[in-house]
Each structure stands twice: as structure tokens, then as C-alpha cells.
Amino acid sequence: MSRTSTRVVVAVATALVLPALVASSAVAATGTAPRSTLAVEMGGELADLAAYLADDAGVDGRSLGTMRHAAAEMSTENNGAWGSGFMAVSGLTDRNHDGLDDDGAMTVQVLDNRATVTLRRNRTYAVADAGFVFTNSRSVLKESAQAVDRILRLVASAPHGADAWDLAVIRGLGGEAAPGVRVVSDFDGNHDGYDDDGRLTFLAGGKAVTLTIGNTPEEVGKVTYGPTWQTQAPHRVHHPVAPAVPHLSSAHQFR
């Protein structure tokens, strides 16, 4: 496994990526900076690998060969570790057959979000959020809740992963929701580091849905309409600690 792919997989498995996501999500909530997602974080790793390969070969940073090599390696490694469908890379073309990607850009999709990676001739690069991937664009809140639940369960399923009720994890991954959606009612009244009732409210456009996080990584979270403060909390097992899962057969189990 490459140095880059290894670092990404370990970061997700141990939730080491969360401090950066926590900080960026907090800034994004104020509207002063773009949101950061796992797709953006991994897009940066992909760009770093593509630039490294181009530099090692002494070629233009937009070289189709090195971009394809980086994309194939990272996709294969991460889908092998996290299951098919976890990561996909698209947008690589060379219509004029000059050996360079037409626009030096590729799109990285990780679960429910995309990022755009742009390589330059001098092997520098830029990474930008490219939005949320909707199945039904009219179900913004529901799909946002499902996306957050999906990645919480994936993190909880990883060997040495974090508990899905861990407040730092919840706040760090709130940015996985669609742009414009706020995640609230994450509260730790007894200061044990875990959300009190495992319920999150997703707000946008004057509407709300509640996600009730499952007690185990295998249990899909329940999405109900209305905010948490208008519904009765179910009886819950408080912050369950999931046993390590040695291998994830498919990321589709989280859908």
C-alpha cells in the first residue's frame, strides 16, 4: 500500500482526521469558509500522490499517466480496505492526445460528497469542495442525515475506531451533510464525551429531521421528521462501544 493511501486509511480508521474536520466544520458553520469533508481531505491526499509521482518521473503535473496511476492506486487501496463504492475518481480525459489531462482536474467522490482536484504544470495543486451527491435533491435533510449516519457507522466499525456517539466525532463529521444544512442538538450534559441521547437534528429552510444513531455500527440510524425538541427520546443504551470489525466487505452495507 502506498505511503499516501496508508495514511488516509489509518486516519479514517482511528478518526485522526477528525481534529481538522472539527475545526473546519466550526468555521464553515459561520459561513466564513468553505466546508471541509472527507472527500476534500482525501482529495488532498490524492493530489499529493499525483504530484509526487509526476515529480519523480520529471513530467508535467497534468500528465494523464501519473494522474491515472494515483487515482487507480488510491481507489483500489481504499475500496479494498473500506469496501467497494467507498471512493471513486472520474473526469480524466485526453481528447487531443498530448499526454496531458484536458483540464488537469479530476473529481473525487467519497461516500456522499465530492471534491475537485486540479493539478498544474509545475506540480502544485488545488482542492475544492464539489458538493453533495443527491439521490433525490428534494430530500436534502433526509439524505444529509443518512450521509452522516453512514460515515458515523463506518468510523465506528473500523478497528480501533471511535464510538458513533462520541461528540468530537459527531461534530467533526457534521460537514458531511449537504451545504446549508446545520446539525444541532449534539449535547453532552454529563461531560463524559458522548452525546446524551444519540439524537441529532438537521435544520435547513425552516424544516427539520432527527437522526437517532444506532446502538451498533450495523444498526442503521432512524430518520424522523421534526426536531429532537419536539419528539420523545427513545430508550437508549448509552454510548455503546462497538467491537472491532476486522474487515468491511462492502461500503454498500452502510447505505
pLDDT tens-place string over residues 165-208: 888 889 888 889 999 999 998 888 888 888 888 999 999 999 99
Most confident of the ranges 72-76, 182-186, 215-219:
72-76
**Could you tell me the residue ranges of all domains in the chain?**
3-132, 140-254
- The fraction of the chain above a pLDDT of 90, given in percent, is 53
Average pLDDT rounded to a whole number, residues 15-38? 52
Residue 244 has pLDDT above 90, yes or no: no
Residues near 10 by Cβ (< 8 Å), separated by ≥ 6?
A: 16
**CA distances in angstroms from 5 to 29, 49, 94, 201, listed in the order given:** 29, 9, 26, 33
d(CA 53, CA 61): 9
DSSP 130: E
d(CA 43, CA 37): 10
Pick from 6-20, 114-128, 190-204: least confident: 6-20
The tens digit of pLDDT for each residue in 92-103 reads 999 999 999 999
Return mean pLDDT, the chain: 83
H/E segment holding residue 94: none
Strands annotated E in the chain: 87-90, 105-110, 113-119, 125-132, 182-184, 199-204, 207-212, 222-225
Task: For residue 199, list its beta bridge partners.
Answer: 212
